[in-house]
Each structure stands twice: as structure tokens, then as C-alpha cells.
């Protein structure tokens, strides 16, 4: 059956695959025929994701790695086969007002949200781990790029930095026929967003701001990522794809 979004025959790396968007992306990619290499810091949760991958006959792999450590990124890349796709999804956030910023927290978010995906991209290219006509997808956010919100200054600036890097990498890597794009979610119901401990009243008030009257689900973002990984987007690079239920209109 014709399916332009098929990932059959493709080998794809997904970072931050132990929960949320990364976990769902890995599972959905496996349903469409991809061979997955998944990575994350939490070994137990990563095992759960691995167990939920479809296509057990494929050579799926799980690699525990802390991408905030550059040596761990190099180790990860050394263990990889040549890839057809990479999803730079690992990320963290912490809501803090400007007057309470701590240098340690700034460095932590930048290390995981910015430095890690940039270095991973560098090593993938340097070690020739990306096939010709492959795709690299970065999970950014509407925050810091299209909208701003109180308390999210650190997180938003990390995601704005990634959005900028995507455009540069799309230009540079086009000579190697590697496409680079980003997805920009609105509020998505994941363990990370639930950690913000919003009251039900706050959640209900926020939902009212969305034209489609709901928050996103991890699968909403995963399917957008799959589009950018698939041959359906073969003429798409340097693009920022908003998946936000109309919030930023």
C-alpha cells in the first residue's frame, strides 16, 4: 500500500526517548517500519520504551547516555550505525522568575537543550553517521520563538537558540543532502509539563487560549516529526513547523 510517510528501511535515532514526546515518537516510528536506536538517561524508563517498540525482528537498540556530558555524546555516536534520521528531542525546563535565576540552572538547561543537540549533530556529521538524503529533526517550542511567558526565560531562550541553529545547519548540511528542520509544540501533556504542578483551574484557563480548545498530546508532535523524517518532506529543510493548536495565531 502506498504510504509517503513510511519509514521502512530507515534507521532512526531518538534522544530523550524514555518519556513524553521522545517515547511516543520512537514507538510511532517503529509502527511505520523504522529501526530505532533510542537513548535517554533513565535506564528503567528507556527499557519500557524499548519494550513497546513494534517490529521485534528489526535490530532496535537502546543506549543509556547522559547527553549533558560531551564524552557521553561521543560514546553514543561511536556505537551508532549509519542513520537515516535523528530526532534531537531531549530537553528539560524549570519555571523561574528572573530575580531567582541561578547560574547552575542556566548552565544545566543550556547544556541539555542547546549544547547537547549541537554537539550530537556535529559528531554525527564528523563521524559520517548520517546517510545522504537523511533528516535531522529538532524539538524546539513556540516559547521564545513565537510567544513569551513569565517564568520561562531560560527555557525559551534555549529553544530560540535551537531554532536559529536549525537554519544554519540546514544551509551547511545541504551540501551533504542532509535536511534539518524543527517542530515547535505548544503545551503538550507530558511528564515534564506535569512537573510544573499547575492547578486544574490554571490548566483549564490555559486551554481556553487555544483555538482548538485542548492541549497537545505527545502523538500530535510525534506525527509532525515523522512527516519531517519521511520522504514526504524530501523538499523541506530549514523549516520551523508549529504544532500548537493555533495558540500562536
Q: Which residues are known to be catalytic?
A: 155
How far CA 243 is from CA of 50, 79, 226, in Å, comes to 26, 32, 13
Using CB atoms within 10 Å of the CB of residue 245, give its burial: 0 to 12 exposed, 13 to 18 middle, 19+ buried: buried
The Cα–Cα gap between 167 and 78 comes to 26
Distance of CA 156 to the CA centre of its chain: 15
The Cα–Cα gap between 21 and 192 comes to 10
Task: State the pairing for strand pair 83-88/179-185.
Answer: unpaired
The Cα–Cα gap between 150 and 201 comes to 18
Q: Which cell goes with 170?
A: 540546514
Ramachandran angles phi, psi of 34, nearest 5° = -75, 155
Max Cα–Cα distance, the chain, nearest Å: 57
State the Rg of the chain over Cα. Answer: 17
Given a contact cutoff of 8 angstroms between Cβ atoms, the answer to whether 10 and 78 are in contact is no
The Cα–Cα gap between 102 and 100 comes to 6
Amino acid at each position: 500500500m502506498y504510504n509517503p510517510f513510511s519509514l521502512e528501511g530507515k534507521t532512526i535515532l531518538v534522544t530523550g526517548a524514555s518519556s513524553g514526546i521522545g517515547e511516543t515518537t520512537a514507538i510511532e516510528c517503529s509502527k511505520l517500519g523504522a529501526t530505532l536506536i533510542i537513548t535517554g538517561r533513565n535506564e528503567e524508563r528507556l527499557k519500557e520504551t524499548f519494550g513497546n517498540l513494534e517490529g521485534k525482528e528489526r535490530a532496535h537498540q537502546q543506549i543509556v547516555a547522559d547527553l549533558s556530558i560531551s564524552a557521553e555524546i561521543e560514546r553514543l555516536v561511536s556505537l551508532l550505525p549509519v542513520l537515516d534520521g535523528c530526532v534531537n528531542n531531549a530537553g528539560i525546563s524549570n519555571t523561574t522568575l528572573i530575580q531567582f535565576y541561578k547560574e547552575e540552572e542556566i548552565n544545566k538547561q543550556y547544556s541539555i537543550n542547546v549544547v547537547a543537540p549541537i554537539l550530537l549533530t556535529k559528531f554525527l556529521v564528523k563521524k559520517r553517521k548520517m546517510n545522504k538524503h537523511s533528516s535531522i529533526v529538532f524539538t524546539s517550542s513556540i516559547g521564545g520563538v513565537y510567544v513569551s511567558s513569565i517564568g520561562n526565560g531560560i527555557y525559551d531562550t534555549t529553544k530560540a537558540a535551537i531554532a536559529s541553529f536549525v537554519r544554519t545547519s540546514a544551509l551547511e548540511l545541504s551540501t551533504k543532502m542532509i535536511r534539518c528542520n524543527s517542530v515547535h509544540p505548544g503545551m503538550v501533556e507530558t511528564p515534564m509539563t506535569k512537573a510544573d504542578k499547575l492547578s486544574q483551574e490554571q490548566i483549564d484557563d490555559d486551554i481556553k487560549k487555544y483555538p482548538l480548545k485542548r492541549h497537545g498530546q505527545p502523538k500530535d508532535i510525534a506525527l509532525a516529526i515523522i512527516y519531517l523524517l519521511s520522504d514526504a518532506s524530501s523538499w523541506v529543510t530549514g523549516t520551523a513547523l508549529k504544532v500548537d493548536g493555533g495558540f500562536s495565531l
